[in-house]
């Protein structure tokens, strides 16, 4: 009977690269990337680890594929809306996708070969800026700043010693454990902001995003600056 069940499971969904990537992503989301092994992944898919190698070159190739899937989840800039709205939406969408899959940003560092979804995304963003009349140079500047800020903010957010939920723990971390006055400005920041009810570090993201968009707008159309 076990055999029949196995066979049915197999017929229900044949092993494909696509299915492997989805399963790997959901394992990484749940348990963290460092505990993702080919053996556990095989087990989740009802298959021996070695079967995965028929659809994936090796683990590095699989990790490349996973990162590319995450990039595919980022909204492409919509057509026909102004560049500022398009860039704002895509930055927010990128932060959401990277937050859903926190391991992705740590993996980017070692990924040298971008996948098709990643390339398509970059191409669409550059296209949106060029269509809006940005020079090649200014489009490169703008993309570089926006991308850098978006990734970096998300990375910082993940690194934060406090998650938004446990405010009491913040107090614990910052105020106790150290000699009082060791880190006075961090302490001040914690008391004044992080410990206030309703505090959410994520809110900081749009402040910085708008400051950067202001700067880009100024560089793009200096004539209309400070209108």
Partner DNA sequence: ACCTGAACACCGTTCAAGT
Nearest distance in Å: CB 37, a second copy: 14
212 binds a second copy (CB under 8 A): yes
Question: Given phi > 0 = left and psi -120 to 50 = alpha, else beta, which region is 21?
Answer: alpha
Structure tokens at 151: 């990734």
Q: Is 39 exposed, middle or buried (0-12, 13-18, 19+ CB in 10 A)?
A: exposed
Residues 32-71 that bind DNA (CB under 7 A): 35-40, 42, 47-51, 53-55, 58-60
20 binds a second copy (CB under 8 A): no
72 binds a second copy (CB under 8 A): no
Is residue 90 helix, strand or coil? helix
DSSP string, 15-27: --HHHHHHHHHHH
202 binds a second copy (CB under 8 A): no
Q: How many residues bind a second copy (CB under 8 A)?
A: 64
User: How many helices (H) and strands (E) would you count in the chain?
Assistant: 11, 0
Question: Could you say which of DNA, a second copy, none residue 199 binds, taking C-beta under 5 to 8 angstroms by partner kind?
Answer: none
Question: What DSSP state is assigned to residue 200?
Answer: -
* Residues forming the site for a second copy (CB under 8 A): 32-34, 102-103, 105-114, 119-120, 122-124, 126-127, 130, 136-137, 139-141, 144-145, 147-153, 155-156, 158-159, 161, 178, 182-186, 188-189, 192-193, 201, 204, 207-208, 211-212, 214-216, 219, 225-226
């Amino acid at each position: 009977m076990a055999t029949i069940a196995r066979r049915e499971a197999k017929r229900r969904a044949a092993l494909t690269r696509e299915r492997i990537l989805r399963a790997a992503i959901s394992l990484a989301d749940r348990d963290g990337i460092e505990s993702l092994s080919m053996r556990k992944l095989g087990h989740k898919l009802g298959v021996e680890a070695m079967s995965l190698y028929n659809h994936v070159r090796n683990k590095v190739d699989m990790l490349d594929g996973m990162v590319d899937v995450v990039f595919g989840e980022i909204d492409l800039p919509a057509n026909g809306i102004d560049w500022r709205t398009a860039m704002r939406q895509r930055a927010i969408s990128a932060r959401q996708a990277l937050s859903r899959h926190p391991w992705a940003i740590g993996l980017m560092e070692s990924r040298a070969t971008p996948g098709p979804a990643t390339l398509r995304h970059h191409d669409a963003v550059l296209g949106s800026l060029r269509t809006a009349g940005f020079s090649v140079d200014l489009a490169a500047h703008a993309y570089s700043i926006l991308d850098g800020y978006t990734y970096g903010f998300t990375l910082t957010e993940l690194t934060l010693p406090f998650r938004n939920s446990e405010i009491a723990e913040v107090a614990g971390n910052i105020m106790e454990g150290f000699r009082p006055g060791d880190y006075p400005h961090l302490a001040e920041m914690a008391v004044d902001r992080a410990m206030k009810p309703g505090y959410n570090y994520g809110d900081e993201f749009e402040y910085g995003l708008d400051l950067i968009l202001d700067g880009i707008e100024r560089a793009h159309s200096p004539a209309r600056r400070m209108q």
